[in-house]
Amino acid sequence: AELRRDEQPSGSVETGDGAASRGCGAAPAPGSKDKPSKKTFSEVQEERREQAQRSVLIHCPNTVSEKKFLKYLSQHGPIHTHFFYESFGFYAVVEFCQKDSVDSLLNRTQTPATGTEAAIPFRSRFLYLKPKGPSSHAAKQSLARSSNHLPPSKRKLFELLCSAESVDDQLNTLLKEFQLTEENTRLRYLTCSLIEDIAAAYFPECTIRPFGSSVNTFGKLGCDLDMFLDLDETRRLSTQKSRGNFLMEFQVKNVPSERIATQKILSVLGEFLDHVGPGCVGVQKILNARCPLVRFSHQASGFQCDLTTNNRIALKSSELLYIYGTLDTRVRALVCSVRCWARALSLTSSIPGAWITNFSLTMMVIFFLQQRSPPILPTLDTLRASADEEDKCIIEGNNCTLVRDLNKIKPSENTETLGKCFSLFPFQFKQTFLLFSLFYFLAELLLKEFFEYFGNFAFNKNSINIRQGREQNKPDSSPLHIQNPFETSLNVSKNVNQSQLQRFVDLARESAWFLQQEDGDRPSPSSRQPWGLAALLLQTVAPSKRVQKKLPSERIKSLLESVKSNSTQSSTNTSGKQALS
């Protein structure tokens, strides 16, 4: 009864890098005006992976005394950090200072004695703590407390949003409440590391790498955990030159195509996870998809996992999004609010279908920010132009080169056109100028203009292309065309049908109009009336303020015209685009 889900983590998280309780990776804290992280994406990946390898996941009784628990585990070496959480049971993540301590602990861990049920023996870093007697139970005050891994309830969110100072403040509140916490990020990497231990039974040199929103800085609490099996180490050609007249090769099984190889690998892994993997339930093999995958639920962490193989390009897209998300916190605030908006209005769904996906929405936000004048985000071509020899990366024939060092990202060319004297200033000044221009655009204004921009986008003829940061003619007839950043012949939103796109456009227009009306329209705190994002997102909590009710669709077109004329002074890029017919 003492354990509360909404408490801050009890165990202080000593990351040693000052990243405690922040969002995923090394992204800066929301609202902070600090400089972008200096860490490259691969540095963050390596650091997190190494942390995970020094960690264990322990199912414990929720009556465990934190002090006794830590004392017991410290027999194996000093503990760097730990936290408890509730999923289907009560769990602890314990990160030792040294990897040797994990080995020592595993050497003293037993395989459970079989009782009425038979155990399939498997040794992993997912353990069970069994109390030896009643003395192991803690007194109320020394009970271990649980850290939160759930998004806020609608009620709590409603209260938080209503008590915010401004719509801008509401946007930052959304980000703060939904972004992945430090603990949740650790748990994601640890889960991949545990799955790697299972997969290593088949492929000893494999690596399981997380990608997608768990690592790209745009993750929300509760989002799925995308991971892929990396067999590059097994595939790698030996660098040792063999002497003599012969060349020795491993005998392998050959199959007709790469796709069939992927399906076979995932098929055996799916079976193994299902039959032997501790904590892996509901395993589904979805091998006929364009990108074959095994979907399962990791019960102990509570994550819905999607396991693929050979997905290096998707990892590169995650790196690209990480760069965009790390350049400025408002990018994440805007993406987060657009994702929450789409979810609240049922534009996105956890079930696959013809709806728009979070990945597509993120690409749309990035594209929109590239359209600002001066641009808030650089194009992918600009990121490529800043790359050096070491950054060069070709994956499956696709040029995936990106500048990895965030400090090398130059201000976009458009800022140079502000005046000749600007080009005389040193590089550092230009960077400062760019940052300044980012702060100039409040997230509130950006959200409204995002809705307005896409409410009027010529989806019928144009494609969204973040590589060039320009609209392009659609290469095919899909209703929504967003070019995949690295596999340029692919459309990220191929699944979206015309009616889902039309819903997106209608709701974007209505929301633009709604936010325009909300300007300076905050009711007094005592009225407790839903306003701003609370009214826009939480319609089920406050049905009286439903967007649709307040905004009859037939009025939208004419009202939008007035929104547009009002905002031409603040926006420089709403150049009469064709509305979707």
Among 11, 28, 210, 212, binds ligand CTP (CB under 6 A): 212
Residue at 550: amino acid letter: K
Residue at 530: amino acid letter: P
Among 357, 401, 463, 511, binds ligand CTP (CB under 6 A): 357
Among 66, 95, 168, 226, binds ligand CTP (CB under 6 A): 226
Whose structure tokens read 């509760």?
Answer: 222
Edge to edge, the sheet with strand 55-60 lists 126-128, 55-60, 89-96, 79-87, 146-147
Q: Are 464 and 364 in contact (CB under 8 A)?
A: yes
**Which does residue 571 bind out of Mg ion, ligand CTP, none, counting CB within 5 to 8 angstroms by kind?**
none
Select from 216-224, 329-337, 526-534, 549-557 the region that touches ligand CTP (CB under 6 A): 216-224
Q: Considering only CA atoms, which of 86, 82, 93 is closest in space to residue 1?
A: 86
Select from 58-66, 275-283, 355-363, 464-472 the region that touches ligand CTP (CB under 6 A): 355-363
Asked if 465 interacts with ligand CTP (CB under 6 A), we say no
Among 341, 359, 513, 514, binds ligand CTP (CB under 6 A): 359
**Which does residue 317 bind out of Mg ion, ligand CTP, none, counting CB within 5 to 8 angstroms by kind?**
ligand CTP
CA atoms of 481 and 477, how far apart (whole Å)? 8
To ligand CTP, the closest distance from the beta carbon of 172 in angstroms equals 20
Q: Considering only CA atoms, which of 208, 396, 226 is closest in space to residue 295?
A: 226
CA atoms of 502 and 225, how far apart (whole Å)? 30
CA atoms of 11 and 35, how far apart (whole Å)? 28
Strand runs labelled E in 99-206: 126-128, 146-147
CA atoms of 166 and 444, how far apart (whole Å)? 9
Strand runs labelled E in 278-375: 280-286, 293-298, 303-309
Select from 37-45, 223-231, 445-453, 504-512 the region that touches ligand CTP (CB under 6 A): 223-231
Question: Residue 212 or residue 532: which is nearer to Mg ion going by CB?
Answer: 212
Per DSSP, the residues of 140-166 read GGGB--EEP-SPPPHHHHHHHHHTSSS
Asked if 265 interacts with ligand CTP (CB under 6 A), we say no
To ligand CTP, the closest distance from the beta carbon of 498 in angstroms equals 18
Asked if 226 interacts with Mg ion (CB under 5 A), we say yes
Asked if 319 interacts with ligand CTP (CB under 6 A), we say no
Asked if 212 interacts with Mg ion (CB under 5 A), we say yes
CA atoms of 67 and 333, how far apart (whole Å)? 38
Q: How many CB atoms lie within 10 A of CB 576?
A: 7
Select from 29-37, 127-135, 211-219, 264-272 the region that touches ligand CTP (CB under 6 A): 211-219
Question: Residue 158 or residue 211: which is nearer to ligand CTP going by CB?
Answer: 211
To ligand CTP, the closest distance from the beta carbon of 398 in angstroms equals 12
Asked if 405 interacts with Mg ion (CB under 5 A), we say no
Sign of CA dihedral 15, 17, 22, 27: negative
Asked if 224 interacts with Mg ion (CB under 5 A), we say yes
Beta bridge partners of 96: 79
**Encoded tokens for 178:** 């939904």
Buried b (16+ CB within 10 A) or exposed e, 43-79: ebbebbbebbbbbbbbbbbbebbbebbeeebeebbeb
**Which does residue 357 bind out of ligand CTP, Mg ion, none, counting CB within 5 to 8 angstroms by kind?**
ligand CTP
To Mg ion, the closest distance from the beta carbon of 226 in angstroms equals 4
The residue count for binding Mg ion (CB under 5 A) is 4
Among 55, 172, 193, 213, binds ligand CTP (CB under 6 A): 213
Asked if 222 interacts with Mg ion (CB under 5 A), we say no
Asked if 478 interacts with ligand CTP (CB under 6 A), we say no
Count of helix runs (H) and strand runs (E) in the chain:
19, 14
Q: How many CB atoms lie within 10 A of CB 212?
A: 23
Asked if 188 interacts with Mg ion (CB under 5 A), we say no
Asked if 210 interacts with Mg ion (CB under 5 A), we say no
Asked if 185 interacts with ligand CTP (CB under 6 A), we say no
Among 94, 144, 167, 223, binds ligand CTP (CB under 6 A): 223
**Which does residue 57 bind out of ligand CTP, Mg ion, none, counting CB within 5 to 8 angstroms by kind?**
none
**Encoded tokens for 207:** 């690596």
Q: How far is CA 137 from CA 72, 119, 400, 578, in A?
A: 14, 27, 54, 68
Asked if 355 interacts with ligand CTP (CB under 6 A), we say no
Q: Which residues form the interface with ligand CTP (CB under 6 A)?
A: 211-213, 219, 223-224, 226, 314, 317-318, 357-359, 484, 492
